[in-house]
Amino acid sequence: MINLKHLREFPQLYIEAAKRKRVSLDIEAFLKLDEEYRALKTEVEELRAEQNRFNKELRGLAGEEKEQMLAKMKQAATQVKEGSARFKEVEEEWNAKQLLIPSVPHEDVPDGVDEDDNVPIRTWGEVPSFSFAMRDHVELGELHDLFDIERGVKVAGARNYFLKGDGARLQHAILRLAMDLLHEKGFTLFDPPLVVLYEAMRGTGYFPGGEEQAFHLDERDDKYYLIGTSEVPVASYHMDEILELSELPKLYAGCSPCFRREAGSYGKDTHGLYRVHQFSKVEQVVICRA
């Protein structure tokens, strides 16, 4: 979530950011909504304060003065109800739209259409050359019977597979090695929930905007989603909590299966174990002072 104070002071930065990131969002319209939101919030707070004041004054009144105060209180209650309803509508729109505002990219970040426009910053090591023809992971997997894509597709549909034999053992070994190394570095290890609420996906920045890539668990209940990364549940571990600086940093690591629909990827990376619907990985989450 962006810093609203910074947005209000430097709106042009965010207008340009939206253009560069091809985000279809009217920043100026949001700022007008933001003004309305803050004005309504102040108005409702003042109405409630007045309502509370009337309640206190009523205690010492009697007769006609009491009747007049009761009439004022009734009018104030109506105003609070109407103002709160209007504020709730504006607040919902305000909350939804601010989540769509892009962060401001660094001026050195190049604009591009796809990954082909990425600019290498630095490289490490040298690409080795071999005296034999290299095999890709599909050839090696078939040669050593490490996975079975054909039967994975038969059982679970496109972009699915079975890891088997040493392939399954290798995955377990790599995940265990990663978790052991992180444990040695002081990370707390998690086996997190694989199903999370919409709020967790929103709080970690995957929603709104990424719904089509997530598996919706049940059409009868729109709250639950399969995770695409353990970052979602682990980073949400302290959701709705306030942590003291003295408690930081928090070093967390999650290991889990991950599920992604890969919507819009038809025809892309169809060879081998790329863009699959399910895979396992280790995720590191550090909560620290910015």
What is residue 60's predicted lDDT score, i.e. its pLDDT? Answer: 80
Specify the amino acid at residue 52. Answer: N
User: Is 68's pLDDT higher than 80?
Assistant: yes
What is residue 263's predicted lDDT score, i.e. its pLDDT? Answer: 73
Instruction: Provide the pLDDT confidence category of residue 175 given band limits of 50, 70 and 90.
Output: very high
Give the mean pLDDT of 47-69: 87
Give percent above pLDDT 70 in the chain. Answer: 98
User: Is 249's pLDDT higher than 90?
Assistant: yes
What is residue 107's predicted lDDT score, i.e. its pLDDT? Answer: 87
The answer to whether position 107 is within a domain reads: no
> Which has more pLDDT, 100 or 186?
186
Same domain, 151 and 72: no
**Quick one: which H or E segment has residue 177?**
helix 166-184
Same domain, 154 and 269: yes
Phi and psi at 168, nearest 5°, equal -65, -40
| DSSP 3-state of 35 | helix
> Which has more pLDDT, 123 or 57?
123
Mean pLDDT, the chain, rounded, equals 93
- CATH number of the domain that residue 194 is part of: 3.30.930.10
Same domain, 145 and 281: yes
- CATH number of the domain that residue 58 is part of: 1.10.287.40
For 257-277, the pLDDT digits (tens) are: 999 998 766 666 667 898 999
What is residue 66's predicted lDDT score, i.e. its pLDDT? Answer: 87
User: Is 2's pLDDT higher than 70?
Assistant: yes
pTM of the complete model: 0.78
Residue-number span of the structural domain to which 28 is assigned: 4-98
> Which has more pLDDT, 179 or 99?
179
**CA–CA dist 24, 9 (Å, integer):** 21
User: Is 232's pLDDT higher than 90?
Assistant: yes
Give the mean pLDDT of 219-247: 94
What is the chain's length? Answer: 290
The answer to whether position 210 is within a domain reads: yes
Q: How many domains does the chain have?
A: 2
Give the mean pLDDT of 6-16: 96
The answer to whether position 110 is within a domain reads: no
143 in Cβ contact with 135 (< 8 Å): yes
Q: Which residues are bridge partners to 251 per DSSP?
A: 286
